[in-house]
Amino acid sequence: MTSSIAKARARANIALAKYWGKADVELNLPAVPSISVTLDPLTTETTVELRANLAQDEFLLNGTAALGGELKRAIELLDRVRALAGTKLKAHVESRNHFPTASGLASSASGFAALAAAARKAAGLPFDADATSALARQSSASAARSVLGGFVELPAGKPGDASLAAHQLAPADHWSIAIVVAVTAEGRKSVGSTDGMTHTKVTSPYYESWVKAAPALADEVRAGLLARDIARVGRAMEQSTLAFHACALAADPGLLYFQPATLAAFAKVRELRAEGVTPVYATMDAGPHVKALCHASDAAAVSRALSGVPGVLRTLLAAPGHGVELL
């Protein structure tokens, strides 16, 4: 092979049943099952060009050379693809997030899903959803879910099982729901997910309880979404969020991802629900933003209500979207 180029697009996702904790750090296998919805319009587009004349991998993220941990994780993914494809060519990678400015959603899931798909294609490997998802998972487990569209599950991993991949539970058009993101802060989160999980596992007295409780919550979320039962999904989703945060809060020192506006937005979601008109439920990740799940027909009203909460900077509307696309 001399040189070759491939481009892919992938979307962010939000977990309805949360992943927090690893069964195998080396292979990046989750300790618990997680279920997510892949989201439009939050996309990342990535081009990978394998070039004969490059001495080392190059990675431009939103037009700027990536360094440190970001570059290292990308090179590790490229190394796995090179080993599979039997090539030594270095890559020039350009990745762009088409996210609304400071959307409050992580771009690592869409980023690694797009990189995995584009790198495999550039290296001449055939498209294979399982292999792409397993490859993305090794860089960031939530990225395994962004390879698929609609409603997606990543099972818990068994130590040593390098092939673990996510699979689709239902396509994007299965259920007309929306996710309203209430953005409560600018800038990056204090402790990233990878470090936060390790810290929780090592120091939180609640870690084992969380790992034990998570599968039943994922079962509820799965059953609820297959039945399009928003109350069933929503209740289990809120418990999954609060249980993983409780586990992280109990670490030493505790991981506190909430800001005052996080709790205010969460309270607003429960207030709306208590009025009995709008079924709406909240979830949070390793950051201060609140993501509300509601029927698509209620999204505008939920967005208006959350925009009025003190400390909420803006809201953003997202809906179920497709999996990774080769362009």
Structure tokens at 80: 């796995």
- Measured distance CA(312)–CA(184) in Å, rounded: 5
Candidate list 93, 134, 141, 316; residue touching ligand DP6; CB under 6 A: 141
| Single-letter amino acid, residue 54 | L
Please identify, using beta-carbon distances, which residue of 44 and 193 lies nearer to ligand DP6: 193
Please identify, using beta-carbon distances, which residue of 70 and 325 lies nearer to ligand DP6: 70
Residue 209: count of CB within 10 angstroms of its CB: 14
Candidate list 46, 193, 200, 278; residue touching ligand DP6; CB under 6 A: 193
Q: How far is the CB of 68 from ligand DP6 (least distance, A)?
A: 15
Contact 295, 84 (CB under 8 A): no
Q: Does 140 bind ligand DP6 (CB under 6 A)?
A: yes
Q: Which residues contact 242 (CB under 8 A, 6 or more apart)?
A: none
Query: Which string of x and - marks every residue 31-50 that binds ligand DP6 (by CB under 6 A)?
Result: ---x----------------
- Measured distance CA(134)–CA(131) in Å, rounded: 5
What is the separation of C-alpha 290 from the centre of its chain, rounded to a whole number of angstroms?
14
Q: How far is the CB of 218 from ligand DP6 (least distance, A)?
A: 10
Please identify, using beta-carbon distances, which residue of 24 and 92 lies nearer to ligand DP6: 24
**81-89, 135-143, 210-218, 224-232 -> range binding ligand DP6 (CB under 6 A):** 135-143
3-class SS of residue 93: strand
Closest CA to 182 of 110, 264, 116: 264
Q: How far is the CB of 18 from ligand DP6 (least distance, A)?
A: 4
Q: Does 108 bind ligand DP6 (CB under 6 A)?
A: yes
Candidate list 8, 10, 12, 15; residue touching ligand DP6; CB under 6 A: 15
- Measured distance CA(182)–CA(259) in Å, rounded: 12
Please identify, using beta-carbon distances, which residue of 43 and 241 lies nearer to ligand DP6: 241
Element (H, E) at 187: none
- Measured distance CA(57)–CA(164) in Å, rounded: 27
Q: Does 146 bind ligand DP6 (CB under 6 A)?
A: no
Please identify, using beta-carbon distances, which residue of 93 and 255 lies nearer to ligand DP6: 255
- Measured distance CA(39)–CA(318) in Å, rounded: 6
Q: How far is the CB of 321 from ligand DP6 (least distance, A)?
A: 16
Q: Note the residues at the interface with ligand DP6 (CB under 6 A).
A: 15, 18-20, 28, 34, 108, 140-142, 193-194, 285-286
